[in-house]
Structure formats: structure tokens, C-alpha cells
Amino acid sequence: MKKTSQELFDAAVKVLPGGVNSPVRAFRAVNLAPRFIQRADGAHIYDVEGNEYLDYVCSWGPMILGHNHPVIREAVERAVVDGLSFGAPTAREVEIAQRMVELVPNIEMVRMVNSGTEAVMSAIRLARGATGRDKIIKFEGCYHGHSDCLLVGAGSSALAGGHPTSAGVPQDVVRHTLTAQFNDLASVETLLQANENQVACVIVEPVAANMGVVGPKPGFLAGLRTLCDQYGALLIFDEVITGFRLGLGGAQAYFGVKADIVTFGKIIGGGMPVGAYCASRALMEEVAPCGPVYQAGTLSGNPVAMAAGLAQLRYLKEHPEVYTHIDALATRLAEGMRKAAAETGAPVTVNQIGSLLAPFFTPDAVSTFVDAKGSDVGKYARYFANMLEQGIYLAPAQFEAMFLSNAHTKEDVDRTIEAVRASLAAL
């Protein structure tokens, strides 16, 4: 007999910490047992009991075309036939890098890695190596993966789990990490002034998507650019969420601001484990084997992962209408959720940028990390449980985004709005 989610979870907690391989999946922030997923197709995922859910997690972003897209699946199937890993260069690595260089502004070279964490960790090393400076500035509530120097005031499940600054990271390592406030240029300038000629880089999620979704105020990203130029620091856009989602050119194109180093993650793997960091030729040639900044990876540029990523990027390039569709759906959903909140009298604020959105359980506008933390996470948990009951699969924590995919339809969105209305009324 097939095991249920509860049976699998009971077995899982005995052999996996919290029963999972990544904390947010454990549903702890919402006090439930996770659903074990059997398969996914289009905008839907199915648990081992066969329950169908409309999915707004989309594997945390990469499934922009929906799950199990035939073009990507077939590319993977073809690649697998040739072998799983060679540890030697392949043609696909060249093509995916060429495409990225063509589509993303201001980058000339790409280094592939296996996750967003690795991409950002390596980008920080590059910034430090290239500038000869040690300090970095990040923003409280922004998440950049789990490398030591970035687990300070982190967002996402580090925040939801109550450990925005991780144990096990030596003070000596994080004394070089300075923390500023998102959407507050003065907080950045103060740090740059106080640490003149010591700051290697400012790293930012151009849309903060690991504290819910918080967009940059007009002028914030451009202001970071100006400050970085003024103080000789490099500007890193962590586009693990925004890359190829806000559009083919990512946040640089969307907001018209140039970054020095850009990091990408899961979305360029089409669901396979991939990340990348990219910059000008001058910067990237600091990286081994050209330069002294060492970074390597046995599985980097893995042929199967490259096949999936390449198929997805090709599809996106050939079908720019994907972006029109997902952005319009997100706007419809955000407006519908706001209306449902107004009609039920629920104090909810919905932020939306492109195909990213998040509700906050507060009546006030949310444009800073402090505002985001003002959300009533207990209410979010009840809302989450109620939505799950209605067959809608959301991020199981407040400090995450909702993602739309090209497989979502207007009907899906309208059904979701009705579920939100029912859920808010029940709160």
C-alpha cells in the first residue's frame, strides 16, 4: 500500500533533520505536516494521496513555464541518453552562456555553478578579489543563500525559523558583513562613509522577495549605483528570483540600473540544480583559470542541467508573450486579493511586481523590512491552512513570494481570488 504524506513524514523525521532537505518545506512556520509530492504538471502539483493543488510556489521560481513542460522534458530526455556527467566542457555550456550574454545587459562572461548559494558566494569572492577589499554590505531581510558571510540578518526560512543570523558562523567571518536597510539609501551611505576604501560590494535583491515581496522605491537602485561608484564598491544584483522572471533582461533591464556582477539561480536550470555569476570580461577574467580568484565545481555546467536550462531560455526568448501573460495574471490576482480583503474587512496589503506577489497581514503599506515584519504571521498561517484545504498551494511561510507560471490561467486566478475571499472571511 502506498504511504500517506503523514506516514512518509513520520519516517522522514527519523532520518532527515525536520523531515526535509531544506527548512521551508517542513511547514513549521504554519504548524502543519508537509504534503509529500508525487508529481506536477502545468500549474498543478499532486501529493502522494492524489490530491491536486494549484501551485503558486513553482519550485520557488524556476518553473516559469509550468511543471513538466514538454520542451524541457524532451531536452532532458535527449541529454540523458548521452551520459549524465563528463567533468569536461560541452557545447551546451557555450550556447547557454552566449544566450545569457546576449539577453542580460552589461555582462560579457558567465561562470556556471550548481545553486544560487554558490553563485552568490562566488560573486562575493570575486568582488573581494577584484577590489582587494574585505567588507560587504547586504540588506536586512534579504536572502542570498546559506554561505557563511551572508547568513546575517537573512530573510526567507532563516527568518521564518527564527535564525536570521545562523549559529556555526564565526564572528570573525561575519565581522566583514555590514547590514543596511532595504529602501533606505542613507543607511548605505552611512556604512560606506564609516568604512571608506574597505567595502568590496553592495549586494541586493533588486526586488526583495525573501521578506514577502518588497519592491525598490523609485531611485533606490539607481542611488545604490551612484553610491557604489562614489565609494569604489561593486554593485551585485542577486537575480536568483528576478532573473528571467521580470523579463529577459532581468532587473537591470526592468529598472534601468546597471550592476557590476549579476547572480542567477534555479531559473536558468529550468528545474535542474544550476546557478551562475556573470560580469564584464575584465571582472570575470579574475576568476580561475584566468585569474587569482579560485572557484571550481565537478558538476558545474552539468550536461543534463544545461540542456534543461537552455531549452527554457530558448523558449522564453522565442515566446516573449510569456511575460505579458504572467504579469497580467499577477496583476489580476493582486487586484482581486485586494478587493477580497476590502470586502471582507481583512487588514491585508498585497505587493506585486511583475509575476511576483505577496500578501501581508497588515493594513499598512509595506516598503521596508520593518513594515514586512509587521505582518501578523499567525494570521498568515491560518490563511495558508485554509487555502491548502481549498486546493491552493502557497509558500508555507509569510516571508516568501507567490510565483505565477505561463501554465496558470485566468480561470485559475479567479478561482484563487474566490478561495482568498473565503479564507479571509473565515479569519
Using CB atoms, what's the residue nearest to ligand PMP?
116
Q: Does 396 bind ligand PMP (CB under 6 A)?
A: no
Considering the complex, what minimum distance in angstroms separates the CB of residue 275 from ligand PMP? Answer: 6
Distance CA 252, CA 249 (A): 6
Nearer CB in complex with ligand PMP: 262/340: 262
Q: Residue 278 belongs to what H/E stretch?
A: strand 275-279
Extended beta strands in 132-274, E state: 135-139, 177-180, 199-204, 234-238, 261-264
Stretch that binds ligand PMP, among 49-57, 77-85, 110-118, 293-301 (CB under 6 A): 110-118
Of the residues 47, 55, 184, 238, only one is catalytic, namely 238
Q: Does 140 bind ligand PMP (CB under 6 A)?
A: no
Stretch that binds ligand PMP, among 123-131, 142-150, 245-253, 325-333 (CB under 6 A): 142-150
Distance CA 204, CA 224 (A): 9
Of the residues 135, 266, 373, 379, only one is catalytic, namely 266
Contacts with ligand PMP: how many residues (CB under 6 A)? 16
β-strand partners of 52:
46
Residue with cell 577590489: 131
Binders of ligand PMP among 335-394, rule CB under 6 A? none
Could you tell me if 231 and 223 are in contact, meaning their C-beta atoms sit under 8 angstroms apart? no
Q: Does 240 bind ligand PMP (CB under 6 A)?
A: yes
Nearer CB in complex with ligand PMP: 124/417: 124
The 8-class DSSP code of residue 82 comes to T
| Identified binder of ligand PMP from the candidate list 9, 53, 56, 143, rule CB under 6 A | 143
Stretch that binds ligand PMP, among 29-37, 137-145, 177-185, 323-331 (CB under 6 A): 137-145
The x, y and z cell numbers of residue 279, run together, are 560580469
Of 135, 134, 158, 138, nearest in space to 146 by CA: 158
Q: Are strands 261-264 and 234-238 parallel, antiparallel or unpaired?
A: parallel
| Identified binder of ligand PMP from the candidate list 23, 116, 206, 359, rule CB under 6 A | 116
**Conformational region of residue 66, where left means phi above 0, alpha means psi within -120 to 50, and beta covers everything else:** left
Of the residues 56, 135, 138, 143, only one is catalytic, namely 143
Stretch that binds ligand PMP, among 138-146, 276-284, 381-389, 417-425 (CB under 6 A): 138-146
Q: Is 238 annotated in the active site?
A: yes
Binders of ligand PMP among 41-80, rule CB under 6 A? 60
Over its C-alpha atoms, the chain yields an Rg (Å, rounded) of 21
- DSSP per position, 35-55: PPEEEEEBTEEEETT--EEEE
Could you tell me if 207 and 214 are in contact, meaning their C-beta atoms sit under 8 angstroms apart? yes
Stretch that binds ligand PMP, among 140-148, 214-222, 307-315, 391-399 (CB under 6 A): 140-148
Considering the complex, what minimum distance in angstroms separates the CB of residue 3 from ligand PMP? Answer: 27
Maximum pairwise Cα distance, the chain: 65
Q: Are strands 261-264 and 37-41 parallel, antiparallel or unpaired?
A: unpaired
Q: Is 143 annotated in the active site?
A: yes
Q: Does 205 bind ligand PMP (CB under 6 A)?
A: yes
Considering the complex, what minimum distance in angstroms separates the CB of residue 376 from ligand PMP? Answer: 23
Distance CA 151, CA 129 (A): 20
CB within 8 A of 346, min separation 6: which ones?
340, 361, 424, 425, 427
Stretch that binds ligand PMP, among 68-76, 115-123, 224-232, 343-351 (CB under 6 A): 115-123
Nearer CB in complex with ligand PMP: 206/223: 206
Nearer CB in complex with ligand PMP: 122/367: 122
User: CB atoms < 10 A from the CB of 1, how many?
Assistant: 4
Q: Does 144 bind ligand PMP (CB under 6 A)?
A: yes
Nearer CB in complex with ligand PMP: 242/367: 242
Tell me which residues touch ligand PMP (CB under 6 A): 60, 115-117, 120, 143-145, 205, 210, 238, 240-241, 265-266, 275
**Residues with catalytic roles:** 143, 238, 266
